[in-house]
Amino acid sequence: MNITIVDYKSGNISSVINSFKEVAQNKVKVEVTSDLKKIKSSDKVVLPGQGSFKSCVDALNKINGLRDTLSDFAINNKKPLLGICVGLQMFADIGYEETETKGLGWISGKVSKIDNQNGKFKLPHIGWNQINILKESKIFKDIENNSHMYFVHSYEFIPEDKNVVLATTDYSSNIVCSVEKENIFGTQFHPEKSDKTGLKIIDNFINL
């Protein structure tokens, strides 16, 4: 089996790469690339994302054919794909960070700034927060409810269909922090920075 971590120059993804290689060891091939042919032939894909929604979408669109290749992989071929942080946010139809930007449109919804309640909650939201797991999922196998995960974000994904929500975290309000739609999975938190619990989520994705 081979897993591709999509490198579209969206910021420092070394921790994602290192975590996947640590968990996979030598049992699973982990490749880091934006090569369309290699992505197409992958068994699973990881879509990381750091920075703003707009900068990530722009970087994705700069690589000719990448957007369509990812959509073909996830939507048409229904192979497992995991989006992390802004990688998850890009599943949305539209994002409002910096300017109105069209997302991948895989899961209907929008990405909006977290309501900091007039400064009561600091933005960006940085640090450890508990997650509330709302339903069973293969990627949350053996993960205890109220586990702590590591977050770095100022914007939240608000899906139209609440049935796709796997978990929320309480920061200003109940913020969606994980989604699942058939073969598409996403975490707003960083599993690669969430200690052993986060590595277990990576392990669960690898073993889907």
* Residues belonging to the active site: 85, 190, 192
| Neighbouring C-beta atoms of residue 153, cutoff 10 Å | 23
54 and 98 in contact (C-beta within 8 Å)?
yes
- Please name the residue that has the structure tokens 């992958």: 42
How far is the C-alpha of 194 from the C-alpha of 204, rounded, in Å?
14
115 and 96 in contact (C-beta within 8 Å)?
no
Rg (CA), the chain: 16
- Tokens representing 39 are 């992505």
3-state secondary structure of 8: coil
